[in-house]
Amino acid sequence: MKLEVVNLNVKYDAEDARRALRGVTFSLSDGERVALLGANGAGKSTLLLTLVGVVHPESGEVAIDNAITTKDTLRHLRSKVGMAFQNPDDQLFMPSLYEDVAFGPRNYGVSEPEIADRANAVLTQLGISHLRERMTHRLSGGEKRLAALAGILVMEPSVLLMDEPTSFLDGRSRRRLIEILRGLPQAMLIATHDIALASELCGRTILLQEGQVRADGDTKTILADAALLDECGL
Ligand SMILES: Nc1ncnc2c1ncn2[C@@H]1O[C@H](COP(=O)(O)OP(=O)(O)OP(=O)(O)O)[C@@H](O)[C@H]1O
Ligand SMILES: [Mg+2]
C-alpha cells in the first residue's frame, strides 16, 4: 500500500483569496504511523477530508497504489481508507451502536456471521461491548468517539485516517486506544493535539502551518524544536 499526495491545493470559497491547503505533498507507506500536527485552522481536517474525497481539491492529486483518485474510483478508495471524523456525530447514524458498527462491512457484502465476529471483537477491544444495543445519539462524547472508531476498525482498511481520535476520551479509554493502534499493522495518519500520543505512537510527523507542510520528519526531532513549534502556534 502506498498513499501519495501531490501538490494539493484546497479553497473552500472561490472568491476567497485564502487557501486552506497550499501545495501539500507527501506519501505514506505500508505500516507507517504519521502524526499530523498544526494549530487550530492549520488544515489538518481539510487534508484528511480531501484524502477521502469529501472535500474536493482545486488542484493536485491523491493516489492509492498508483491509481489516481477520481469520482469513479471513490468507492474503491473508501474500501481501503478508513476515516474517523473529528466530530463523531458526523459518522454515527444507525439507531444502535451494533447496527452502526455492522453497517460498513454489511455494505461491502461481508457475511452476517463474520460481521458479528468482527464487530464483537472490536467492541470488546475498545471496551464498549456493554453499549452494543444503546442508541448512538444518546451516548456520551467519549462513548461516541469509541463507537465511531469501532465502525472504522471493523472495516479493516489498509490505511487509517483519524481526526483527533483521543478527544473526549478519559485516561483509561485513551490508553486503551493507543495500545490498540500500536498493535495494528495499518498505515495511519493521525491529526491530533495530543502531543504525547504523537510521540508515543508516531515515528514520523507532518507539521502543517497555514495550509502548508512546514516540516515532515522524525517526530522526536520536530517536537524538540521549540522555536519551530512556537512559530506554528503549538
Ligand atoms: N467548510 C468550510 N468552509 C469554509 N472554510 C472552512 C471550512 N472548513 C474549514 N475551513 C477553514 O479552513 C481552514 C482549515 O481548517 P481545518 O478545519 O482544516 O483546520 P484544523 O487544522 O483541522 O483545525 P483544528 O485543530 O481546529 O481542528 C480554517 O481557516 C477553516 O476556517
Ligand atoms: Mg480539525
Segments making up each domain of the chain, as ranges: 30-52+78-231
CA distance 189 to 208: 13
Predicted TM-score (pTM) of the model is 0.96
- Does ligand 1 have an atom closer than 6 angstroms to the CB of 53? no
Ligand 2 centroid to 110 CA: how many Å?
32
Question: Do 173 and 142 touch, CB atoms closer than 8 A?
Answer: yes
Summarised one tens digit per residue, pLDDT across range 118-135 is: 999 999 999 999 999 999
* CA separation for the pair 112, 197 (Å, rounded): 35
Of 40, 4, 73, 38, give the one whose Cα is nearest residue 232.
Answer: 38
Ion ligand 2, residues whose Cβ is below 5 A away: 44-45, 86
Q: What is the mean pLDDT of the chain?
A: 95
Task: Quickly tell me which residue has 483569496 as its cell.
Answer: 17
| Beta strand 33-37 pairing with 21-29 | unpaired
- Ligand 1 centre to CA of 196 (Å) is 23
Looking at all shown ligands, the one closest to residue 208's CA atom is 1
41 CB near ligand 1 (under 6 Å):
yes
CA of 9 to the centre of ligand 1 (A): 14
Q: How far is the CA of 45 from the centre of ligand 1 (A)?
A: 7
State in words which class domain 30-52+78-231 has: alpha beta
Asked if 111 and 119 touch (Cβ cutoff 8 Å), the reply is: no
Pocket of ligand 1 contains residue 37 by CB under 6 Å: no
Residue nearest atom 3 of ligand 1, based on CA coordinates = 12
User: What are the tens digits of pLDDT across the range 19-73?
Assistant: 999 999 999 999 999 999 999 999 999 999 999 999 999 999 999 888 888 888 8
In the DSSP assignment, the letter for residue 123 is: H
In this predicted structure, what is the pLDDT of residue 73?
81
Ligand 1 and 192: CB distance under 6 A: no
Q: What pLDDT shows up at residue 171?
A: 95
Tens digit of each residue's pLDDT (9 = 90 or more) over 166-185: 999 999 999 999 999 999 99
Ligand 1 atom closest to 18 (CA): 29
- 14 band by pLDDT with thresholds 50, 70 and 90: confident
